[in-house]
Amino acid sequence: MNICIPKERRDSEYRVGLTPAAIRLLTDDGHTCYVEHEAGLGSGFSDYDYQQAGGQIVYSGEEIYGRADLLVKVARPTQVEFDWMREDQTVAGFLHLAAGQSSKIEALLEKKITALGLEIIQDDDGCLPVMTPVSQAGGRMVPQVAATLSQNNFGGKGILLSGTPGVPPAEVVILGGGTAGSAAARNFLGLGAAVYILDRDLERLRELDQRFQGRVVTMVSHPFNLERVCRFADVLVGAVLIPGARTPVLINREMVKSMRPRSVIIDLSIDQGGCIETSRPTTHSNPTYIEEEIIHYCVPNMTGVLGRTATHALNNASWPYVQMIAEIGLEKALEVSPSLKRGLYTHQGEILQSTLRDSLEGRQ
């Protein structure tokens, strides 16, 4: 099988689809691996590292896409990458198609491309084995971003998250008590902030209360409580995820208006459309904007600048599925792995993911 690793083309995306160690395992098993020139540079891997592992270096994006039976990448392809794809390929990555353009989904169907969303590979118990470590990294990154944006020189209110003797800590509100939300809470607590977590799952709130030994305030997520917390939040974090579906908007513009000026919103859900009405995608080159006097940070590929850490975390989780496809072929892998099958957005010209189908119908 020809397995290809392209260079990521989105702004400030330093992660790479596979490490040299993975390439070594694949080439030892007889597969041919092509790696685009400098694809791994942001993660600390040189072309020489890939060549030593048995990979072959390719010097154009068009060629890397043209050679691939299985294309392993990270971020959703750009328009030019969609144009480079050929019929009947398999493309694996964090595709987030529910928040993507309809024209790109139509291109996948037209070319009969198998689109494997690493973010929606799902075990029987509901766990997202590949998305989880990336969500953990993103959640743990949130407090350092919030701390920086809260400084005066970045437009913030000039507050220290931990406070200081005689001065109370910042009040941080996290919407969603899942992987990213709980990871963010962990690090916010470590910095000394006062943390509130809202979730609609009462059992989940009980688990979080026990895990953090009562050090976080847990609240049921409903409109009254959402309005209430917006009025005092110094930092508001959106960490809501519905696998494969567009994120519902929980915070409307009026709620944002009720926040104190120069407070900070970090919408981790932006890669699936965002859970705050005033959110719109930004980039690491220009990560923030002001709306209703509130600082908004909405970078979809937030962990893209954690090239080394995020790439290793991603590869640890995605490797079993890549290896399975390489060893026994896609069709057989889909038969033996229900988790992998749940990760299919499109296959043989059809949409297999129900939430994506519903999303497309809702746009018509």
Q: Mind telling me the catalytic residues?
A: 96, 271
Closest CA to 3 of 31, 43, 40: 31
Order of strands across the sheet that contains 32-36: 56-58, 32-36, 2-5, 70-72, 90-93, 114-117, 344-347, 350-351
Query: Which amino acid type is present at position 354?
Result: S
d(CA 143, CA 190): 10
DSSP H or E stretch at residue 102: helix 102-110
Question: Which CA distances in Å does 288 have to 24, 149, 267, 279, 284?
Answer: 40, 9, 11, 10, 9
What does the DSSP assignment read for 52-96?
HTT-EEE--HHHHHHH-SEEE-SSPPPHHHHHH--TT-EEEE---
